[in-house]
Amino acid sequence: MNRTTVIATWTLSLCLGNLLVAGPGRAATHLVPVANGHDLQNQVKATAIKVIPAVVSIASTVMVRDQAFSDETLPFGLFKEPPARRQYGQGSGVIVSPDGYIITNNHVVADAVDVEVILADRRQYKGKVVATDPKTDVAVVKINATNLPTVPWADSSTLAVGEFVLAIGNPLGLSRTVTFGIVSAVGRADVGVADFEDFIQTDAPINPGNSGGALVNVNGELVGINTAIASPTGGSVGVGFAIPSNMARAAMQSLIKTGRVVRGFLGASTQDVSPSLGKIFRLPDVKGAIVTDLQAKGSAERAGLKRGDVVVRFDSRDVMDSGQLRNLVAQSPIGSKHRLDLIRDGKAYQAELTVQEAPRERAKKSQAAAAASTAHPLTGVVFDDVTPPLARQMDLSVNSGVVVTDIEEGSLAESSGLQPGDVVLELNRQAIHNFATFQRIADPLKPTDLALLLVNRQGNALYIPIQGE
């Protein structure tokens, strides 16, 4: 199965693309002036040769269950479920540092228990998912290698409609595929792929498996990460979307540095300007972001913004709608200062905004920590008996005990280091032979009790202490 994101044009709903063959009339034709055709062709050829070595194929494995069930007699949410089966996906990635950092899409490696990276020269490496950001659909994978070819970053803010671009990736499992097109639009939002959207739209053919691959200009510079297509069929019809390089690069750097994306926050709610609201607020154009509410002592309030203000410029950038303003603030460093051009009661004003960190991200983290401190130490973990068939299916090195098949993100066990695929050999120094034994020992534990697990992880034994506050 090729992993990609496909948006059905008639519903704009998210679905997984299937292997489809484009019918007659689907291929786009790009006419180049005869006088410049030869030069352009040579440039495209040179760019393809330059970039292909830095675009990789990513094969991912996730564990899925066709049906889950629970036994009400089991304590604290320990579920016995049918054995998991492996599901395979394939996408693309771009090497952005010689020491093995690769940027790709979150949906290419989301929930993966195994990641294999294949270079253009067919070398294969075990990939480690450094961190992911579903809100931008960006992920970072690391391989243990040096002196790798890379693609230089471009400033996507300078990208203009009509520019030639190349999409390079592994569509439908066909490695080292290059397609050619133009930038059809910039600043596409409300596509339905991610929370933060500022997509580059291109007609360079993109298909399932292209996700995470490179969108480059004719100079071979990375302008975007190919992410999704709009299609009634699941195949390319000339409407593809890429995350702009500036957004992707900022997310990647934050993921590498902190393990999460730290975003700026306006400290206010906004809405788009409609034609009727434009008249009511006496705006010269139907564009901007109307302030509808203010966070107490937030960035916007401290900057002097009021309800009903219309933000029309952020530094030197025109603000077309509330989504664009949200993206501009989100990509700004925490504590950075920016000039806002406003229209208030039909008159022009200016304000200086000092960007604050998005509070919901901090709250989510603290909420998860609070929940973990009051729950059973093993809450959020799914265990199953290790049977010979399951051991073969999950490539386990042992044939007894209980195996971790799933862990809730943010749970105490997850933050303590427990991982899917870990086989529990002991709980609090008592041997675990099956789920019944495990349940008998685990059931009496209180939220603040220690759960000392001895686990087998890929042939290595290690202790993992799990204890709430």
Closest CA to 321 of 279, 271, 276, 266: 271
For the record, the structure tokens of 19 come out as: 């292997």
Q: Report the distance separating Cα 104 and Cα 130, nearest Å.
A: 11
pLDDT score recorded for residue 100: 94
Annotated catalytic residue, options 133, 137, 203, 384: 137
- C-beta of residue 212 within 8 angstroms of C-beta of residue 104: yes
Write out the DSSP string of 241-263: EEEEHHHHHHHHHHHHHHSS---
For the record, the structure tokens of 439 come out as: 């349940």
Q: Could you confirm whether 231 is annotated as catalytic?
A: no
Which residue blocks in 168-314 are alpha helix, DSSP H?
245-258, 275-280, 299-302
pLDDT score recorded for residue 375: 67
Cβ atoms within 10 Å, residue 279: 10
Closest CA to 133 of 234, 70, 225, 219: 225
* Segments in the chain below pLDDT 50: 6-35, 68-73, 77, 79-80, 360-373
pLDDT in tens, 44-88: 899 999 999 999 999 988 877 655 444 444 555 454 455 556 778
Which residue blocks in 180-321 are alpha helix, DSSP H?
245-258, 275-280, 299-302
Fold of the CATH domain 1-13+32-262: Thrombin, subunit H (2.40.10)
CATH match of 369-467 with 2.30.42.10: yes
pTM flag (> 0.85): no
Domain range annotation of the chain: 1-13+32-262, 264-357, 369-467
Q: Which amino acid is at 206?
A: I
Annotated catalytic residue, options 92, 107, 156, 341: 107
Write out the DSSP string of 85-109: EEEEEEEEEEE-STTSEEEE-HHHH
Q: Which amino acid is at 209?
A: G
Residue with tokens 């007894």: 400
Percent of the chain's residues with pLDDT above 90:
38
Which residue blocks in 52-157 are alpha helix, DSSP H?
106-109
The secondary element (H helix, E strand) that includes residue 357 is strand 356-357
- C-beta of residue 398 within 8 angstroms of C-beta of residue 458: no
pLDDT score recorded for residue 127: 93
Q: What is the DSSP code (8-state) at residue 307? A: T
pLDDT score recorded for residue 83: 55
Domain at 264-357, CATH homologous superfamily: PDZ domain (2.30.42.10)
pLDDT score recorded for residue 396: 75
Is the Cα torsion angle 184, 187, 190, 196 positive or negative in sign? Answer: positive
pLDDT score recorded for residue 24: 32
pLDDT score recorded for residue 67: 53
Annotated catalytic residue, options 211, 245, 322, 411: 211
Q: Could you confirm whether 184 is annotated as catalytic?
A: no
Q: Report the distance separating Cα 340 and Cα 352, nearest Å.
A: 6
Domains 264-357 and 369-467 share a fold: yes
- C-beta of residue 236 within 8 angstroms of C-beta of residue 229: yes
pLDDT score recorded for residue 121: 92
Q: Could you confirm whether 198 is annotated as catalytic?
A: no
Maximum Cα interatomic distance, the chain, rounded to a whole number of Å: 81
